[in-house]
Every structure is written in C-alpha cells, then in structure tokens.
C-alpha cells in the first residue's frame, strides 16, 4: 500500500480518503509517512518484511501495509504487534479467509487476545468487552477489517459479496478475562505457555445472547447453552450446525458456576455438546432432501466432537453470555504468538 500523499487533516482529507476506497465508511486517521514511520519505529519492525500473503487476492502484507491500516483505524503504535499477529493468523489455510471474505454469508473475524500484552496495552476483557468504549479493542479489530479490505482486496460489493453483513465487519476484538476465569485460558488450551501473548482468530457468523441467571448446576447451564445453539438456519453443507467450532463467550459468573459444580472446561464442553442436538425432522423439507445424502442416521450436532466447542471467559457482572456460531463453510480457529 502507498502512504497517504493527499490532504493531511480536516474534512477534505476524509472526503479524499473515502473517495479513494480505503475507508470502511467511518472517518479515519490519514496514514501519513510520519505517522506510519513513527509506528514502525516504535515497534522496531522492518517495514518491507512480509508478514503474510493475504487472501482473497493473495497479496503480500508487509509491516508497512499493516501499519498504514493500523494508523487509519486509530491504533496506538503498541497495538501494531497484535494487528500483525491477527493478520498472520487469518492467512493460515485452515482459517479459509478466501471463503469468509467472499461468501454471501455474514462471516467476519473475531480477534481474541490472551497473555500479558492485553493488560499492557489496556484491552478490555470485562464489562462491555464486545461493545464500544475501549480504544485498543475497537481499533485493533478495525485495523484487521481495514487490512482485509485494503490489502487482501475484500471490497464490499466487488469481492466481499455478503448479502447483509454484520457489525463485526467493522470491528470485533476482545481480550479474555483470565483473572476471573476458573479454567486455563484459551491460549494455554491451544498449546502456548501461560506467559505468552497470543492472538486467536475465529470466523463467526454473528452473536446470540444467552441469559440464565437462575441455574446453579452445571447440567442446568449446559442445557440452556445447548438449546441456544440449535439454530437450524446455520446448518452447513455437511449437516453440522455452523462451521464446526462454535464459540461461547462466558461471563465469569457462568464459568464460576460450572466450576463450583465440579465442571472442568472439558467437562463443560462435553455437557453442552451432548445436549446440543437438533432432530433432522426439525429442518424444512427441502433442506432435509438436500442434506440427506450427506448425513448418517445421527441427529444434527453443533460440532463433530465435544472438544471443538470453544469456551472463552470474558465480561463483567451479570449472567449474560454470547454464543457465536462459526461460519457454515469450512473454517478453523487459528492462533499465533504476538511478537515482542
């Protein structure tokens, strides 16, 4: 990507940048040479180093390219390593960014940050973690989305063919509330050291609020979550409810209730998986005919196996969780270490 050579500030800059096709519709910070070089210098990255080859157009994403989008999104320089790790993760073949970025579905990346860097840069893992109010969360997620458009080529209406889209296409980024979790954090579960700083990207197809403020047993909570995940409209081509790695973001209150009843993270996953079953007969007749050659006699499940259910603890006070079905195409979550 080229550095911004146009008007530096004010309304004229916003009009010029919007006309160039580089923005997401919201005002951006003009990515001038001084701003981009200052960000790169603070992080010590080689501007010309290729971080990833980014689908859907498979363009090389250098640190300079990523910094341009991070500046436009409003990132502080210390956020750049997180954005870069997220871009590297998105480019992994198993994430299937070419599918997510070009589908008529509403898929979008959710960025989850674990480890010490989340606290150092002031990320929000507590109240309103998925909402507005925190610069790091908002701008890191936005920088990733801008990079998908400006580097990878996922321009809405041209390559990104989403029928409706979703707000997560603007920004979707949280940190896990590791301090309030009774379980091992996501990055440790995925094979990283507890002291490592890690980004995990998940291709989500939206969010569903799950409320249960009365169940105190693990079995009762598992039943509530399982029933909230039975969304027939998210059935993929293989007869799975979603893309196979459904994500539940649990508030500390729910996670603690499971733990208090003797439920490890693995036992919680299994309890939800066992209950999240949709009878084939619940589907519309034409859908049943379409899926019949692809299925066995088993009912539809939210994933192939219990361990595919992803659990992340975030949020503050309250018994409100979020279920994020993964895209009904083929996608897997990907984690990458964040450079110091």
The domain ranges of the chain are 1-176, 207-324
pLDDT (0 to 100) of residue 111: 98
Q: What is the rounded distance in angstroms from the CA atom of residue 67 to the CA atom of residue 34?
A: 12
Q: Token pair of 252, please? A: 């500390």
Q: How much is the pLDDT for 8?
A: 74
Q: Strand 173-175 and strand 108-114: pairing? A: parallel
CA–CA distance, 55 with 206 (Å, rounded to integer): 21
Residue matched to tokens 């707000």:
167
Query: What is this structure's pTM?
Result: 0.96
Taking residue 98's Cβ as centre, other Cβ atoms within 10 Å add up to: 17
How far does Cα 82 stand from its chain's mean position? Answer: 13
Q: Is residue 108 within a helix (H) or strand (E), and if so which, with residue range? A: strand 108-114
Tokens 């009365």 locate to: 214
- By residue count, the chain amounts to 340
Distances (CA, A) of 73 to 26, 31, 201, 231, 340: 9, 9, 18, 34, 21
Q: Are 61 and 51 in contact (CB under 8 A)?
A: yes
Of 130, 40, 32, the C-alpha closest to 78 is 40
Among residues 134, 129, 130, 120, the alpha carbon closest in space to that of 338 is found at 120
Chain centroid, CA 192 distance in Å: 19
| CB contact at 8 A, 134 and 123 | yes
pLDDT tens digits, the chain, 340 residues: what are they?
778 788 777 889 999 999 999 999 999 999 999 999 999 999 999 999 999 999 999 999 999 999 999 999 999 999 999 999 999 999 999 999 999 999 999 999 999 999 999 999 999 999 999 999 999 999 999 999 999 999 999 999 999 999 999 999 999 999 999 999 999 999 999 999 999 999 999 999 999 999 999 999 999 999 999 999 998 777 765 667 777 799 999 999 999 999 999 999 999 999 999 999 988 888 889 888 888 877 656 788 889 899 999 999 999 999 999 999 999 888 999 999 999 8
Contact 234, 324 (CB under 8 A): no
CA distance 151 to 165: 19
333 within 8 A of 324, measured Cβ to Cβ: no
């Amino acid at each position: 990507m080229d550095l911004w050579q146009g008007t530096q500030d004010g309304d004229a800059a916003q009009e010029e940048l919007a006309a160039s096709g580089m923005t997401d519709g919201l005002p951006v910070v003009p990515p001038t040479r001084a701003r981009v070089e200052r960000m790169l210098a603070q992080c010590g990255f080689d501007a010309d180093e290729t971080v990833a080859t980014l689908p859907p157009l498979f363009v090389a994403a250098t640190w300079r390219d990523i910094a341009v989008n991070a500046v436009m999104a409003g990132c502080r320089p210390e956020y750049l390593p997180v954005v870069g790790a997220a871009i590297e993760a998105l480019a992994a073949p198993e994430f299937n960014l070419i599918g997510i970025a070009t589908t008529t579905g509403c898929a979008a990346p959710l960025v989850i940050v674990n480890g010490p860097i989340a606290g150092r840069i002031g990320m929000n893992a507590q109240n309103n973690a998925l909402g507005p109010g925190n610069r790091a969360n908002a701008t890191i997620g936005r920088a990733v989305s801008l990079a998908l458009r400006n580097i990878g080529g996922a321009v809405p209406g041209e390559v990104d063919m989403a029928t409706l889209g979703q707000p997560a296409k603007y920004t979707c980024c949280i940190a896990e509330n590791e301090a309030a979790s009774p379980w091992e954090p996501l990055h440790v579960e995925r094979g990283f050291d507890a002291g490592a700083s890690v980004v995990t990207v998940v291709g989500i197809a939206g969010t569903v609020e799950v409320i249960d403020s009365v169940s105190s047993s693990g079995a009762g909570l598992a039943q509530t979550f399982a029933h909230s995940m039975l969304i027939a409209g998210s059935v993929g081509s293989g007869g799975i409810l979603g893309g196979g790695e459904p994500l539940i973001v649990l508030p500390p209150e729910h996670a603690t209730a499971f733990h208090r009843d003797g439920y490890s993270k693995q036992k919680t996953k299994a309890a939800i998986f066992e209950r999240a079953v949709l009878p084939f007969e619940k589907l519309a007749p034409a859908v049943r005919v379409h899926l019949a050659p692809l299925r066995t006699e088993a009912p539809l499940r939210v994933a192939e196996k219990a361990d595919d259910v992803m659990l992340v603890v975030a949020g503050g006070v309250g018994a409100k969780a979020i279920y994020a079905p993964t895209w009904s195409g083929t996608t897997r979550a990907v984690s990458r270490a964040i450079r110091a």
